[in-house]
Chains A and B, each alone.
Chain A
Amino acid sequence: MSRKPNKTAMALRQKGSSVLAAILCILIGLVVGLAALFIINAEHAWDQGFVRIIQGGFYDFPYGVGRTLTNSAPLIMTGLSVAFAFKTGLFNIGAAGQYTLGAFGALYCALILHLPWYLCLLASALFGAVWGAIPGIFKAYLNINEVITSIMFNWIGLYMVNEIVYARGTGAMYDVKSTRTWKLVDTSPESVIPSAGLSELFHTPSTTIAIFLAIAVAIVIWVVLEKTTFGYELKAVGLNKNAARYAGINEKKNIILSMTIAGALAGFGAGLLYLSGGAEWNPLNTTTLPAMGFNGIATALLAASHPIGTIFSSIFISHITVGGSFLPTRYFPAEIADLISGIIIYLCAFAMLFRGVIARKLHADRDIPDANAEAAPQAGKEAK
């Protein structure tokens, strides 16, 4: 009878150790960041440096917070993309490429076809889905490691999109003056995601309902993974492909579906950013993949691949990145925020380790239930 609360307590403790591990990563990251600030400029390290990073968007309220929210939306999506694939045992390092394709899909539908924003968003998801599905198909039918194919598809996607958008300066989506794609607000205002008053609230040009869409998608993904037979199958394939097969689950289908959905999520993330009107695609940038794709890996890791956790980790990473941009450039390079998030991300790899240690510490004072209690004479008591 006293077992019931004990069970929930156990579950809470397991969740708790994940959260604690993430917080520990963040704290260590901040401490190292602080040390770096002191090394660069000890005089201003605290008030002009560290405090501003911690304040993040709040340093320039409400504008900064608006920017944090604008940046969070796509980051949540790429984080979800990576987290979702992780659950199926796949490492989607191709979020950057899927994001690139998603950006292209959204901008094409907006700038050329002048479609309304929701159709543009749908297109961004579709383009991303295709780019995710291809490595999935290779993985399922030819057993080619998805990491290798997705990395190659990242670059294939980037060059392809840049080539189409730029077309030696003649591309229909390309504005020669700004060397980027046309400004969405001028060219196709109907394709901009509605702001619902958020832009006025935060005094930014590009804070839209995108953040709410991203949070909604995260909740949907959580429900799919936790509450549906589809999620059950996906996770079974991820945790033990052989057992899934034994149970009659079509693991090939699930691998492809998982990568397709992961791709759609990353693509959708690009749609959320570019259709908010805050950024334009620069096709002349041929050497770097969108950072959003790789930061997605970080937020997924920090959230231990939990869809809801991804919301918080993404907002946090955006928060300190925006904080970094407010650093006085006289004293500090803005990249110091990247350094801190880099350290936190690096520590995320240890998050698993921390989680184990924390779980053990939390359990140490508790009696561990004897999992090895075999059938023995005291049977009656346990079986009720």
Chain B
Amino acid sequence: MAEDFVIEMLHITKEFPGIKANDDVTLQLRRGEVHALLGENGAGKSTLMSVLFGLYQPEQGTIKKNGQEVRIKDPNDANALGIGMVHQHFKLVECFSVLDNIMLGVEPCKAGFLQKSAARKRVVELSEKYGLRVDPDALISDISVGMQQRVEILKMLYRDNEILIFDEPTAVLTPQEIDELMEIMRGFKKEGKSILFITHKLNEIMAVADRCTVLRKGKGIGTVEIAKTSKEELSRMMVGRDVQFAVEKAPAQPGEPVLQVKDLTVPGRVHKKDAVRGVSFTVRAGEIVCLAGIEGNGQTELVYGLTGLEKVSGGSLTLAGQDITHASIRQRSKDGMSHIPEDRHKHGLVLDYTLEKNLVLQRYWEPAFQNHGFIKQGEVRAYSDKLIRQYDVRSGQGSVTIARSMSGGNQQKAIIAREIDKDPKLLVAVQPTRGLDVGAIEYIHKQIVAERDRGTAVLLVSLELDEVMNLSDRILVMYEGEIVGEFDPKTTTVEELGLYMAGAKKQGKEAQ
């Protein structure tokens, strides 16, 4: 073995009851490379990384560090071997300062007293060396998500980790922050650190990675040199077939206004101040209006106000000419509003109900499905079978499958089938492709465009700028509870949107 591998995971097999999460997977990480790990949801990426991080023990296979076989029994072992990980959901103590978080667990002590100044010196050095701007004394709860991520990275550096695992690090960042992160990763590479980068996003892999290992259904499909491959090839390896990236759609033909929002104000749930402040816009029949913005700028609350999950504190909502400002959720649904919720496990599904029961969740009370309060079981089954066929929802046992046992993509398909089949006048779709793989994303985008072409007004809330640019007919950017700009996707750029999303720029009051 002439090649200089810092970590080798050889023929790893990890089984869970009934499923092989990793089936003879081999991943070899060279010293000083950025190595991407690509795969659909449920392909086994997280399992593989959990094996490396000592959270799971594999049934078969070996792990080698610098050519020496090692056993990683728990995360402490991983740490001792210089393996660090930035988790998708940060593991930070909110009410601690940046410095406290970084040294937590490895505090420098003298006779039981903390030596904070030594730690501070080190943190400042590291942050200057790698261009990771942080304020050591700020509280985590006060800093932006981007800075929190830098804190997580500093935690790894502070522990002298030389193998850095990034688990979907860009999901929460603005385009500018993503560029910055890519730059930071290149800096690490120069320092000789090795990086494992888990992601679905092909653009980022093409931009920063040297090599890429692709997993599909638990099996390693192969490792490729990024310089010698293309996005198309990677996606084919990941999904097992060709995937369309650009959504095919004809120009929109907007009709009558369907949803009119005027000066809408929605209270925030955490803080006293309003999360949505005087927002006004219109969505017309046959167009997709996209609400872009960084997570936590009031989009969630706006949707809650719109769909009735939260009471609005000011302004008015009109759906197809009817005032629905104070209507109940059921009434809004009857009036023609469909809602693909942001969190499909929290709102979208009763996970322990069968698929058929979930498919009638919005209409079980309709005369078609009940008679004097008794559910027409046969009708429900027939309707569910029809939707499953029509929308190609895959599950182990068809209509009687428990929703919990279905994959994320199929759960989302079920929700979309249910919401679209209601023939809504307005479809509110909140991050409909979050966490899904390219195959499912392609499908869902097609359905949304088809719905638009049928004359439905679509309000799409998305954090993914690719999706925003691809799908929308108009873009509204939200920042700190206000709409700060309206754009035409044909004439704007991701960079321009990014500036508005980050609050660096703001259009005048003409945003409508």
Which residues from chain A sit less than 8 Å from chain B, CB to CB? 3, 6-7, 10-11, 227-230, 232, 235-236, 239-240, 242-249, 360, 363, 368-377, 379, 382-384
Task: Provide the residues of chain B in CB contact with A371, threshold 8 Å.
Answer: 395-396, 401, 405-407
Instruction: Find out whether the CB atom of A3 lies under 8 angstroms from the CB atom of B374.
Output: no
Could you mark each residue 238-260 of chain B with 1 if its beta carbon is under 8 Å from any beta carbon of chain A, else 0? 01110000000000000000000
With most chain B CB atoms within 10 A of its CB, the pick from A239, A245, A375 is A375
Given A246-B329, A246-B341, A375-B440: A240 touches B375 (CB 8 Å cut-off): no
Determine the distance from Cα of A271 to Cα of B407 in the docked complex, in whole angstroms: 49
Any A CB within 8 A of the CB of B339: yes
Task: Provide the residues of chain B in CB contact with A246, threshold 8 Å.
Answer: 307, 309, 329, 339, 341, 347-348
Could you mark each residue 364-406 of chain B with 1 if its beta carbon is under 8 Å from any beta carbon of chain A, else 0? 1100001001110100000000000100101111101100011
Instruction: Find out whether the CB atom of B396 lies under 8 angstroms from the CB atom of A248.
Output: no
Task: Provide the residues of chain A in CB contact with B341, threshold 8 Å.
Answer: 246
Any A CB within 8 A of the CB of B349: yes
Q: Which residue of A lies closest to B365 (CB)?
A: A229
Can you list 18 A-B pairs, Cβ within 8 angstroms, ordered by A? A7-B400, A227-B375, A227-B377, A228-B375, A229-B364, A229-B373, A243-B347, A245-B347, A246-B309, A246-B347, A248-B332, A371-B401, A371-B405, A371-B407, A372-B217, A373-B407, A375-B443, A376-B439
Instruction: Find out whether the CB atom of B309 lies under 8 angstroms from the CB atom of A245.
Output: yes
Task: Provide the residues of chain A in CB contact with B56, threshold 8 Å.
Answer: none
Task: Provide the residues of chain B in CB contact with A242, threshold 8 Å.
Answer: 346-347
Instruction: Find out whether the CB atom of B240 lies under 8 angstroms from the CB atom of A376.
Output: yes
Instruction: Find out whether the CB atom of B375 lies under 8 angstroms from the CB atom of A7.
Output: no
Given known contacts A229-B374, A373-B407, what 4 new A-B pairs fall within 8 Å (CB)? A7-B400, A239-B353, A248-B362, A363-B18
Q: Which residue of A lies closest to B357 (CB)?
A: A232
Which residues from chain B sit less than 8 Å from chain A, CB to CB? 17-19, 40, 42, 217, 239-241, 307, 309, 328-333, 339, 341, 346-353, 357, 361-362, 364-365, 370, 373-375, 377, 389, 392, 394-398, 400-401, 405-407, 409-410, 437, 439-440, 443
Instruction: Find out whether the CB atom of A368 lies under 8 angstroms from the CB atom of B19.
Output: yes
Task: Provide the residues of chain B in CB contact with A236, threshold 8 Å.
Answer: 350, 353, 361
Determine the distance from Cα of A376 to Cα of B240 in the docked complex, in whole angstroms: 8
Task: Provide the residues of chain B in CB contact with A379, threshold 8 Å.
Answer: 392
Instruction: Find out whether the CB atom of A230 lies under 8 angstroms from the CB atom of B329.
Output: no
Instruction: Find out whether the CB atom of B400 lies under 8 angstroms from the CB atom of A240.
Output: no
Instruction: Find out whether the CB atom of A374 lies under 8 angstroms from the CB atom of B362.
Output: no
Instruction: Find out whether the CB atom of B374 lies under 8 angstroms from the CB atom of A228.
Output: yes
Instruction: Find out whether the CB atom of B401 lies under 8 angstroms from the CB atom of A247.
Output: no
Task: Provide the residues of chain B in CB contact with A245, threshold 8 Å.
Answer: 309, 329, 347
Instruction: Find out whether the CB atom of A374 lies under 8 angstroms from the CB atom of B347.
Output: no
Determine the distance from Cα of A158 to Cα of B169 in the docked complex, in whole angstroms: 59
Q: Which residue of A lies closest to B366 (CB)?
A: A229
Instruction: Find out whether the CB atom of A243 lies under 8 angstroms from the CB atom of B330.
Output: no
Determine the distance from Cα of A376 to Cα of B392 in the docked complex, in whole angstroms: 10
- Per a CB cutoff under 8 Å, which of B329, B374, B389 touches A248? B329
Given A11-B400, A232-B364: A374 touches B394 (CB 8 Å cut-off): yes
Would you give the shortest CB distance from B448 to chain A, in whole angstroms? 16
Task: Provide the residues of chain A in CB contact with B333, threshold 8 Å.
Answer: 248
Q: Which residue of A lies closest to B363 (CB)?
A: A247
For the complex of A and B, list the 7 residue pairs with the smallest distance between their C-beta atoms, beginning with the closest: A248-B330, A369-B396, A368-B18, A246-B347, A248-B329, A372-B407, A371-B396
Q: Which residue of B lies closest to A14 (CB)?
A: B402
Instruction: Find out whether the CB atom of B398 lies under 8 angstroms from the CB atom of A373.
Output: no
- Per a CB cutoff under 8 Å, which of B374, B377, B398 touches A7? B398
Instruction: Find out whether the CB atom of A374 lies under 8 angstroms from the CB atom of B409.
Output: yes
Task: Provide the residues of chain B in CB contact with A244, threshold 8 Å.
Answer: 350
Q: Which residue of B lies closest to A368 (CB)?
A: B18
Determine the distance from Cα of A161 to Cα of B333 in the docked complex, in whole angstroms: 47
Task: Provide the residues of chain A in CB contact with B362, threshold 8 Å.
Answer: 247-248
Instruction: Find out whether the CB atom of B329 lies under 8 angstroms from the CB atom of A368.
Output: no
Task: Provide the residues of chain B in CB contact with A384, threshold 8 Å.
Answer: 389
Determine the distance from Cα of A148 to Cα of B365 in the docked complex, in whole angstroms: 34
With most chain B CB atoms within 10 A of its CB, the pick from A373, A374, A379 is A374
Q: Which residue of B lies closest to A379 (CB)?
A: B392
Q: Which residue of B lies closest to A11 (CB)?
A: B400
Instruction: Find out whether the CB atom of A375 lies under 8 angstroms from the CB atom of B394.
Output: yes
Task: Provide the residues of chain B in CB contact with A227, threshold 8 Å.
Answer: 374-375, 377
Instruction: Find out whether the CB atom of A243 lies under 8 angstroms from the CB atom of B17.
Output: no
Task: Provide the residues of chain B in CB contact with A228, threshold 8 Å.
Answer: 370, 373-375
Determine the distance from Cα of A372 to Cα of B400 in the docked complex, in whole angstroms: 15
Determine the distance from Cα of A373 to Cα of B397 in the docked complex, in whole angstroms: 12
Instruction: Find out whether the CB atom of B309 lies under 8 angstroms from the CB atom of A374.
Output: no
Task: Provide the residues of chain B in CB contact with A382, threshold 8 Å.
Answer: 392, 394
Q: Which residue of A lies closest to B17 (CB)?
A: A360
Given A243-B361, A246-B339, A369-B396: A383 touches B389 (CB 8 Å cut-off): yes
Determine the distance from Cα of A335 to Cα of B396 in the docked complex, in whole angstroms: 49
Determine the distance from Cα of A227 to Cα of B371 in the docked complex, in whole angstroms: 11
Determine the distance from Cα of A244 to Cα of B341 in the docked complex, in whole angstroms: 13
Q: Which residue of B lies closest to A377 (CB)?
A: B241
Instruction: Find out whether the CB atom of A374 lies under 8 angstroms from the CB atom of B346.
Output: no
Q: Which residue of B lies closest to A382 (CB)?
A: B394
Determine the distance from Cα of A236 to Cα of B389 in the docked complex, in whole angstroms: 25
Determine the distance from Cα of A320 to Cα of B339 in the docked complex, in whole angstroms: 54
Would you give the shortest CB distance from A380 to chain B, in whole angstroms? 10
